[in-house]
Chain A
Amino acid sequence: MDPFQQLIYSQRPDVQGHPANDWWQLWGANELRNRLAQLGRVDVLQHVGGDNNLLRDWYTLWGSQEYPNIWNEQPKQQQGLDTQYAAGGVESAPSIPQFENVLPWEKVQQQWLPSMTAVGQQYALPEVQRQLNKDMQEYMMGMASAGGGRFGSAWGGTGALQSAAQRQGTEMTQDYITGQMNALKGLWYDPTRSEYQRPREPGMSDYGAKVSRSGYDVSTASDANLVMSSAFKTLKLVKIVDMTGETTVAHGLGFIPTFIFLRATKAGEWRMNNPGYSEGMLSTIYVDDTNVYRLTTGVSVGAYVMLFTDRLDE
């Protein structure tokens, strides 16, 4: 039985009893396209386009390997961010791009399939043709020896022999492709993927992130040429508070934060951390683990205080 027919009858019992190819052309191909769309297999849909025969080949050769029974396959629900973060191994997930992103196995197969098919046919078809010639000769000889009256009807039997040879050629070609693909995956793709991924799977004891300035290689850039590195703390601004006049503001951080302030002079000039001694006034700004305070003598001038999440007292 034709491999496609065998597959479709086993995976779709409802088709049994109907000509598989007719059902495929009328209904099956469109059903599979819908299923592929539900499964998000844009790669397959783009590859086969509107060609039902190409889709049938994909289903027979690859779909049957990728899915136990694609007709029963349920689309995966998109997981929430919390669920994704909670998944095991996320903390040690390799940094992108992963090998599968750079070179998907499906893409390798797509690109190799035409040449492998051609080679497989070169290997299989002459063998099949030789067998067909032999079978035809034996059949015709048999019919001829059975009597001239039967010779005319013998041509009908040759069609069956040719169909059988065609199926055998297809099977041999597919066997060849499957073997070659498995060899390619086992001998090249998987080992290459493994080596590619290995340096991207750091141990938990040595990991982090850094970003270099434009024009600098992040792997060799000096600390001064890094925009950010997880080896160092970065001041993280959490609040800017208007502290005009003598006032107290609760910062709500629960620890003594690093702070910087900008204060106006009597003349309206804004200066960083200027307590105002030079113009005869005292403008003290300080923090504890609860509040930001401003004590001031003289005129009430403006001030803004930047508060950072970084502690001052440790």
Chain B
Amino acid sequence: MRGASLIIFRLALLAAVLLLWEALPRLGFVNAMLLPPLSDVLAALVHILGRGDVHTSLGVTAAEVVVAFVIAVPLGAALGILAAENAYFGDIFKPMLFYVFSIPKSIFLPMFILVFGIGFPQKVAYAAFSTIFIVIMSASAAVESVKAEHLLVARSYGATQAQILRRVYIPSMLPILLEALRISMIFNFTGVMIAEMYASRVGIGRLIADWGENFEMTKLLAGVILLAAAAMLFNEAVRSLEARCSTWRT
């Protein structure tokens, strides 16, 4: 299957799914209370996009996502680079890092609530905490990915540290850094959502949790679609950027 037919096939698949979503509840095969037909959900989507409180919620969530990201990424990158450059430091902490990924970080949410109370700082702190570990790991991997041979060649030609940084490290690491950014954002967004759904008065996560509790299914599903679309859009945007920078990679 080549390029064009691939896209057509995928669109056909999507169309089939959407069709079922519309038909099954309308025809009574699925309880329309639990899964409203697609058209109703889309109508709700239009509706919520017009509401002021939804705008505010989206704004709050977006702010949390951005601030947490801005905190976690530089901090995590610094630690990750340190772990890669300093073998001793790396040897100590890297095995611990792997364990961290198996632990549900959400169990620490209560601690953040106890310390910060419920509000903006608590959610941002938790999201940053959620994200920082993958940033550390990615940064460390990125630095290590720069082939030793390339560094050796540069150094043998008398390149200064600054030149090596600019001309070897950065071009070499750019695709990986972009991928790391992309994956870190996934973690970040998830962290914000969990915090909002768990204990928050504002934010889109809180809204959809409330809609769920009140069985307002059309609005809930509309919210889910909105957030999913936003997440995927960002993901694909960074991915295409990655692809543009990766042409030299095998």
> Is A bound to B?
no
Which A residues fall within an 8 A CB radius of B? none
